[in-house]
C-alpha cells in the first residue's frame, strides 16, 4: 500500500508490484477469492488502482527477489516491496 502511494506521489502512471507472496498476487489479480482478513486492504488497493494508468501484481520467487534486492542496493534499480 505504501508503495502504491509513493508511486502516485511521484506521478507514476504505470506500476508493477513484485512480491514473493503468490496467494496475495492471485487475490489481487482476481484468481482467488479475497481472504476476509485482508479484504479492506484489497478494497483500498482497488481504489488506488483506478487512479493509475496500469498496475500489475507479479509473483517473483524468493531467490529471484533476493537478487533484485542486492541489485537495488547498488543504486541501479528501484524496487518497492509489498508488505
pLDDT for 64:
65
Q: CB neighbours of 63 closer than 8 A, spacing ≥ 6?
A: none
Distance (Å, whole) CA 56 – CA 7: 13
Q: Is the pLDDT of residue 67 over 70?
A: no
Q: Select the more confidently predicted residue: 32 or 62.
A: 32
Distances (CA, A) of 75 to 36, 62, 72: 38, 20, 5
CATH number of 2-73: 3.30.420.10
Amino acid at each position: 500500500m505504501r508503495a502504491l502511494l509513493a508511486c502516485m506521489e511521484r506521478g507514476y502512471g504505470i506500476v508493477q508490484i513484485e512480491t514473493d507472496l503468490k496467494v496475495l498476487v492471485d487475490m489481487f489479480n482476481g484468481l482467488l477469492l479475497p481472504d476476509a482478513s485482508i479484504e479492506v486492504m484489497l478494497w483500498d488497493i482497488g481504489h488506488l488502482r483506478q487512479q493509475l494508468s496500469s498496475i500489475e501484481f507479479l509473483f517473483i520467487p524468493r531467490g529471484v527477489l533476493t537478487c533484485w534486492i542486492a541489485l537495488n542496493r547498488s543504486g541501479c534499480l528501484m524496487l518497492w516491496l509489498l508488505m
